[in-house]
């Protein structure tokens, strides 16, 4: 194949990928994207030192068994460029996907040209790359920003295979860099320990094969050892400990776990062969009956695999593919209980080998090659249409809810749980629309009815209770959640806020201190505890705590810093947009003189704000007990804001107290003119009639 033809096909490949994934550039952040990027302080504040010393979710959801520093590194670098613009992150996913396809091309070209030239067509490389690039099962990995780990780990493994087969000094450093990329991006990258040597054994030249194999294996083990040393320091949770969202629980029984293996095998095989009915969540359920259709179909898929292996075992590409496929899927088969199940992005690595095998099969069968362009076209169309599902969280989770059956426990729970979370977000944005709140609660109750063991529901019911204003009930739910998740610092923070609303500051302080014991750099916890200490009058300790924060960016930090410096008679400045929050904190702390001084400063900057002036009047009357100042500001408000009935009402009350019936009638008539439907209107009319009859 000439260079010009290769360049033309290369250009077609790039165009096909960008057209197929064109919808991604109009999609936002979905699901984990929010926590991993937008709400991740390590990313947004560029805390480089924490990337290799904390686990994947520690900065947002708490401790987890995952250690993927290169994923967080990539997001941190991107945040420099794209900030909160999702389009840039989606572009990078597409480019990484395209790069992986090109490494598949290079690897397939290497083996077709140098290793198996008598058996393989020169068209194999580009056909394999095209198949992988457009395969719909890979769309989840590309459309989902948070699947960056799969992209990087697979890229690392494929690049490592390519480098180990080239005849150049670059192969050794290439294998080291590629293996590091794989292992430090996702736990499945550890499979490079088997997949790279396996591919080398199959496709390398006989000369010095054993020596090079030992060297490559030693280099990969070295990278793995470094990874484990860093992981042990950063991760506190075993990967073999399940969670509420686990696919399998120990109480389900080990026999059930083993008997579910055929269904898992069949699921992935079907997704690889027929990738058209796609769903973000798993479609697999645990074995529950011998006549279960998934179990029967799974047995059939295993039998088909064995039969195909017997027929095609002499085919070197097939032997390599089937071993690669088994090793890639091994963590998901739950032979060792890793609590994982079926999601499409787990197919991303196995499909690298699957695409090469499929391309070789198509070339070998001349009949297939005539219809294969149509198959690739249907792949591209499916990928394009699938992109619309990823447009926003509501569409995304509704699709998952519709496609996930109740027996698919993990996916069924998670899809409904997250759709409820979307409805809660809608409610917070549109607080007058209680329909969203009802929809969320209905989904939570639906989950609780079918799977009452799911501990995350207690947090959700607590959140609902907070929104409905029932803090006592919220406290009960959060306390039950803590019994399930005693190491979750976020729940203690939620519980503390509820106690603070009830003015139970000692309990709020106790829970916040527990939250910070679990995660000392938890910024929300530091801010809330500072607030509680300040309200209780412990200014010194509040100041010491607040300034332990590293690189604070939250507006709350600025507000609390301003309040503390003001209380300590230090000069402090704060933009007006945040001073209103400071006013509220001064009031909670009963520092009314500081509160009134700040309100006066705000009013001087915003003399058109009648609400602010009226609030100043109330502080003088209710909190500072200075009726002269109160009356002075009420009269000022009445003159300056003649359309605001509240000032006329306050003056009317003043005249009643001073038995000035004529002015009382005048003020109350003014109030009724401006606001005839105010709650006190009937009493005002009676007083006006009474006073007028006594003239």
C-alpha distances in Å from residue 673, one per residue of 342, 634, 647, 677, 679: 68, 19, 13, 10, 14
Q: Is residue 47 part of a domain?
A: yes
pLDDT tops 50 at residue 220: yes
The number of distinct structural domains making up the chain is 3
**Reported confidence tier of residue 222, pLDDT bands at 50, 70, 90:** very high
Chosen domain end from 377, 410, 443: 377
Of 188-202, 385-399, 434-448, 576-590, which gets the smallest average pLDDT?
576-590
Please give the model's pTM, rounded to 2 decimal places: 0.79
**Reported confidence tier of residue 422, pLDDT bands at 50, 70, 90:** very high
pLDDT tops 50 at residue 117: no
Q: How far apart are the first and last CA of the chain?
A: 111
Judgement on whether residues 152 and 273 belong to the same structural domain of the protein: yes
Q: What is the pLDDT of residue 510?
A: 96
Judgement on whether residues 345 and 443 belong to the same structural domain of the protein: no
Which candidate, 463, 540, 478, 538, places its Cα nearest to that of 505?
A: 538
Torsion angle, alpha carbons of 5, 9, 10, 14, to 10 = 150
Residues 6+ apart with CB under 8 A from 111: 120, 165, 203
Give the span between the Cα atoms of 411 and 282, in whole angstroms: 5
Chosen domain end from 324, 348, 377: 377
Residues 6+ apart with CB under 8 A from 133: 13, 16, 17, 97, 98, 101
Of 39-43, 252-256, 323-327, 623-627, which gets the smallest average pLDDT?
252-256
Which candidate, 138, 144, 129, 146, places its Cα nearest to that of 56?
A: 146
Judgement on whether residues 144 and 97 belong to the same structural domain of the protein: yes
Which whole number is the average pLDDT over 263-272?
90
pLDDT tops 60 at residue 47: yes
CA atoms within 13 A on the CB side of 449: 8
Which whole number is the average pLDDT over 38-47?
87
Judgement on whether residues 310 and 440 belong to the same structural domain of the protein: no
Judgement on whether residues 436 and 358 belong to the same structural domain of the protein: no
**Reported confidence tier of residue 285, pLDDT bands at 50, 70, 90:** confident
pLDDT tens digit string along 531-584?
Answer: 999 888 888 898 889 888 877 767 888 888 888 888 887 777 778 888 888 888
**Reported confidence tier of residue 431, pLDDT bands at 50, 70, 90:** low
Q: Cα angle at 160 between 158 and 161, to 5 degrees?
A: 65
Judgement on whether residues 321 and 434 belong to the same structural domain of the protein: no
Give the span between the Cα atoms of 530 and 521, in whole angstroms: 13
Which candidate, 629, 672, 627, 678, places its Cα nearest to that of 654?
A: 627
Residues 6+ apart with CB under 8 A from 413: 244, 245, 447, 451, 454
The average confidence (pLDDT) of the chain is 88
pLDDT tops 80 at residue 366: no
pLDDT tops 60 at residue 126: yes
The top-scoring range by mean pLDDT among 13-27, 32-46, 397-411, 597-611 is 13-27
Judgement on whether residues 324 and 426 belong to the same structural domain of the protein: no
pLDDT tens digit string along 296-318?
Answer: 999 999 999 999 999 988 888 99
Q: Is residue 481 part of a domain?
A: no
Judgement on whether residues 164 and 111 belong to the same structural domain of the protein: yes
CA atoms within 13 A on the CB side of 287: 22
Which whole number is the average pLDDT over 625-648?
93
Judgement on whether residues 441 and 337 belong to the same structural domain of the protein: no
Q: Is residue 305 part of a domain?
A: yes
Chosen domain end from 377, 400, 431: 377
C-alpha distances in Å from residue 120, one per residue of 163, 309, 315, 626: 20, 19, 11, 95
SS3 (DSSP) at 313:
coil
- Name the helix (H) or strand (E) containing 690: helix 681-693
Q: Is residue 596 part of a domain?
A: no
**Reported confidence tier of residue 287, pLDDT bands at 50, 70, 90:** confident
Q: What is the pLDDT of residue 420?
A: 94
Structural domain span for residue 85: 24-236+247-377
Q: Which residues of 298-326 are buried (b: 16+ CB within 10 A; e: fewer)?
A: beebeeebeeeeeebeebbbbebbbbbbe
Of the two residues 448 and 205, the one the predictor is more confident about is: 448
**Reported confidence tier of residue 337, pLDDT bands at 50, 70, 90:** low
pLDDT tops 70 at residue 116: no
Judgement on whether residues 353 and 427 belong to the same structural domain of the protein: no
- The CA-based diameter of the chain, rounded to the nearest angstrom, is 121
Which candidate, 658, 663, 582, 596, places its Cα nearest to that of 625?
A: 596
Query: Are the CB atoms for 327 and 191 separated by under 8 Å?
Result: yes
Q: What is the pLDDT of residue 79?
A: 93
DSSP 213-224: HHHHHHHHHHHH
Phi, psi (rounded to 5 degrees) for 341: -140, -150
The CATH number of the domain holding residue 679 is: 1.25.40.10
Give the span between the Cα atoms of 495 and 459, in whole angstroms: 10
Q: Which residues of 43-81 are buried (b: 16+ CB within 10 A; e: fewer)?
A: bbbebeebbbebbbbbbbbbbbbbbbbbbbbbbbebbee
Long-range CB contacts (< 8 A, 24+ apart) of 462-470? 462/494, 462/498, 463/424, 463/494, 464/424, 464/437, 464/440, 466/494, 466/497, 466/498, 467/424, 467/427, 467/428, 467/437, 468/437
Q: Is residue 31 part of a domain?
A: yes
Give the span between the Cα atoms of 21 and 472, in whole angstroms: 49
Of 11-15, 108-112, 144-148, which gets the smallest average pLDDT?
108-112
The top-scoring range by mean pLDDT among 60-64, 157-161, 596-600, 603-607 is 157-161
């Amino acid at each position: 194949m000439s260079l010009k033809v290769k360049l033309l096909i290369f250009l077609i490949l790039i165009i096909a990928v960008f057209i197929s994934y064109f919808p991604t550039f109009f999609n936002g952040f979905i699901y984990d994207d929010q926590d991993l990027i937008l709400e991740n302080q390590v990313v947004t504040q560029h805390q480089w030192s924490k990337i290799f010393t904390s686990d994947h979710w520690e900065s947002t959801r708490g401790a987890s068994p995952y250690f993927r520093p290169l994923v967080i590194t990539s997001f941190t670098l991107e945040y420099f460029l794209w900030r909160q613009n999702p389009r840039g992150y989606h572009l990078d996913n597409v480019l990484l996907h395209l790069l992986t396809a090109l490494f598949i091309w290079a690897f397939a070209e290497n083996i077709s040209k140098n290793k198996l030239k008598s058996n393989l067509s020169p068209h194999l490389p580009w056909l394999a790359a095209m198949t992988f690039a457009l395969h719909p099962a890979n769309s989840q990995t590309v459309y989902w920003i948070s699947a960056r780990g799969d992209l990087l780990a697979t890229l690392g493994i494929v690049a490592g295979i390519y480098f180990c087969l080239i005849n150049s000094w670059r192969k050794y450093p290439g294998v080291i860099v590629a293996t590091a990329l794989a292992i430090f991006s996702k736990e499945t990258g550890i499979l490079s320990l088997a997949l790279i040597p396996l591919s080398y054994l199959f496709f390398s030249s006989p000369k010095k094969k054993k020596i090079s194999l030992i060297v490559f294996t030693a280099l990969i083990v070295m990278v793995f050892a470094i990874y484990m040393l860093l992981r042990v320091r950063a991760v506190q949770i075993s990967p073999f400990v399940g969670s509420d969202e686990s696919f399998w629980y120990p109480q389900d029984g080990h026999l059930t776990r083993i008997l579910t293996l055929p269904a898992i095998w069949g699921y992935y095989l079907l997704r690889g062969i027929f990738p058209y009915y796609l769903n973000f969540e798993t479609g697999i359920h645990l074995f529950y009956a011998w006549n279960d259709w998934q179990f029967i179909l799974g047995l059939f898929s295993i039998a088909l695999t064995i039969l195909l292996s017997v027929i095609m075992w002499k085919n070197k590409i097939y032997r390599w593919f089937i071993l690669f496929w088994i090793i890639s899927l091994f963590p998901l088969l739950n032979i060792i209980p890793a609590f994982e199940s079926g999601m499409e992005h787990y197919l991303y690595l196995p499909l690298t080998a699957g695409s090469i095998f499929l391309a070789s099969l198509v070339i070998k069968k001349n009949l297939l090659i005539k219809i294969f362009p149509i198959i690739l076209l249907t792949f591209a169309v499916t990928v394009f249409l699938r992109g619309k599902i990823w447009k926003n969280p509501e569409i995304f989770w509704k699709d998952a809810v519709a496609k996930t059956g109740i027996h698919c426990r993990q996916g069924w729970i998670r899809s409904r749980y997250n759709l409820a979370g979307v409805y809660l977000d809608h409610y917070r944005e549109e607080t007058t629309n209680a329909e969203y709140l009802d929809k969320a609660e209905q989904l939570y109750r639906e989950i609780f009815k079918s799977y009452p063991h799911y501990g995350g529901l207690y947090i959700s019911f607590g959140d609902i209770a907070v929104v409905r204003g029932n803090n006592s009930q919220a406290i009960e739910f959060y306390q039950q959640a803590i019994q399930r998740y005693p190491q979750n610092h976020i729940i203690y923070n939620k519980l503390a806020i509820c106690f603070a609303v009830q003015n139970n500051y000692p309990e709020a302080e106790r829970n916040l201190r527990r939250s910070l014991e679990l995660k000392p750099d938890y910024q929300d916890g530091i801010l809330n505890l500072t607030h509680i200490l300040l309200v209780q009058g412990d200014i010194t300790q509040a100041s010491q705590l607040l300034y332990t924060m590293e690189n604070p960016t939250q507006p709350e930090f600025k507000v609390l810093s301003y309040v503390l410096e003001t209380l300590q008679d230090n000069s402090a400045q704060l933009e007006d947009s945040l001073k209103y929050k400071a006013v509220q904190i001064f009031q909670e702390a009963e520092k009314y003189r500081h509160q009134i001084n700040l309100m006066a400063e705000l009013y001087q900057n915003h003399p058109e704000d009648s609400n602010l002036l009226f609030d100043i009047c109330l502080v003088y009357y209710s909190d500072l007990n200075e009726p002269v100042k109160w009356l002075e500001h009420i009269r000022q408000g009445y003159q300056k804001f003649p359309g605001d009935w509240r000032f006329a009402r306050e003056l009317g009350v003043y005249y009643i107290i001073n038995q000035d019936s004529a002015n009382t009638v005048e003020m109350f008539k003014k109030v009724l003119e401006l606001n005839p439907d105010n709650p006190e209107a009937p009493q005002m009319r009676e007083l006006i009639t009474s006073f007028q009859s006594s003239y």
